[in-house]
Structures are given as C-alpha cells and as structure tokens.
C-alpha cells in the first residue's frame, strides 16, 4: 500500500552555479524555462506579473544563456513576492555585487529536457521605472535585428577583452543599454581591462 509522503516536498528549483560570462547561441529551451517558472510563481503569488526579459527573450539573440525574469509586484507586497520566489527554492545572489533586498534578485535552475537552465528572477515594484526600461530594451532587440547583432557583437568584444566577471560585465554592457534607451548611438569602444572581476 502506498503511504502518503511526509516531510518537506521537493523544491522545483535547483542549485545555481556561477560562471564567468560567455556568449552562447540562442537556446530554444529558454522560453520553456521562462514559462515553467512563470507558472510556478503564478500559483505562489497570483498578484504578481512575470515577464521574460534579456537576450533569452529575443529569438535568435546570443547571450549568456541565463533566463532573466521580472517578478513585478504591487506596491506594498515586496515581502510576499520575495517569499514566493524563495519558497520555490531560488537562492540569494552570492556573486558579484548582490542586489539589495529592497530590489532583490534570486537565482536557480529549472530542468528542461534533462538540462539545468539557469534563471535569474528580478523582484521589482510595479511603480519602478526599471520595469518599462527592461521591457523597452527587450522589445527594441526583438524589432531590430541590426540592433540585436550590434548588441551581441558588443558583448562578444567585452568577453574577448577579458571582461567576464560580475559586476564588471553587467556594468559594461549597461552602457550600451542606456545609450539605446536614451536614443543615442550605442558605444563601440569598450574598456580595455576588467576592474574588479568579483566572482
């Protein structure tokens, strides 16, 4: 006779392993990974909105192969949103320069077709201008293959220059993103050496 399971049920999200940045081909499993986590979070925190952002949200766009998601929460429910993410097994960021708990990022993996796909969940208030900025940059990449190619080339050259650690890599590519969102030509020159290379 089958006995009911006791104890803590297994968590849906696996352990995360940090690695320096590398430019990988677009992963067709990324949309499935995003949808899987979106469904899990919707059950834990129905008041939130989950949006797939970053390079993995753009078909054919090379990137680090990490699925970036925003969990957008109504004002006043940061603790509930953060608890929902944590309850799935997502882990606090321990590499680079961690995001503050007032605007946290959690990391983990989800199994898609037998492979652990890395996921970052950015927990952001619906009133934050960051929400519109992240969506806008994603949508511009989706709409403009030339911009997508230029962004990929910029990241490739950052990595070739040895800028692969967090937060240097994120800060350096941020200059490109800010230029695009400001309506000016994105930079072509890149830093010649990493600054901190925190891991």
* Cα–Cα distance, 166 to 147 (Å, whole number): 24
Q: What is the pLDDT of residue 49?
A: 98
Q: How is the chain split into domains, by residue range?
A: 30-182
- Which pTM value belongs to this model? 0.90
CATH code matching the domain that covers 30-182, chosen among 3.30.460.10, 3.40.50.2300, 3.40.50.620, 3.30.390.10:
3.30.460.10
* Alpha helix stretches (DSSP H) within the chain: 30-44, 78-87, 129-143, 145-160, 168-182
Q: What is the pLDDT of residue 190?
A: 86
Per-residue model confidence as pLDDT tens for the chain (199 residues): 333 333 344 468 999 999 999 999 999 999 999 999 999 999 999 999 999 999 999 999 999 999 999 999 999 999 999 999 999 999 999 999 999 999 999 999 999 999 999 999 999 999 999 999 999 999 999 999 999 999 999 999 999 999 999 889 999 999 999 999 999 999 999 877 555 544 4
CA distances (Å), 63 to each of 59, 143, 148, in order?
Answer: 11, 17, 11
Distance, CA of 32 to chain centre? 14
CB-CB contact of 158 with 165 (8 Å): no
Q: What is the pLDDT of residue 199?
A: 46
Q: What is the pLDDT of residue 2?
A: 35
For residue 8, how many other CB atoms are within 10 A of its CB? 6
């Amino acid at each position: 006779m089958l006995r009911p399971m006791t104890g803590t049920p297994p968590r849906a999200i696996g352990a995360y392993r940090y690695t320096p940045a590398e430019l990988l081909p677009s992963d067709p499993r990324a949309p499935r990974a995003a949808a899987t986590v979106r469904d899990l979070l919707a059950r834990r925190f129905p008041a939130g909105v989950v949006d797939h952002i970053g390079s993995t949200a753009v078909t054919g766009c090379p990137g680090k192969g990490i699925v970036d998601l925003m969990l957008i929460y109504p004002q006043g429910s940061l603790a509930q949103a953060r608890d929902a993410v944590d309850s799935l097994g997502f882990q606090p960021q321990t590499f680079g320069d961690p995001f503050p708990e007032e605007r946290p990022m959690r990391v983990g993996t989800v199994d898609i077709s037998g492979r652990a796909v890395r996921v970052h969940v950015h927990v952001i208030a619906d009133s934050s201008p960051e929400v519109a900025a992240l969506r806008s940059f994603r949508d511009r990449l989706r709409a403009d293959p030339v911009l997508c190619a230029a962004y990929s080339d910029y990241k490739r050259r950052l990595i070739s220059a040895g800028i692969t650690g967090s937060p240097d890599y994120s800060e350096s590519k941020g200059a490109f993103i800010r230029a695009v969102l400001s309506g000016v030509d994105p930079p072509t020159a890149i830093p010649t050496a990493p600054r901190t290379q925190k891991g």
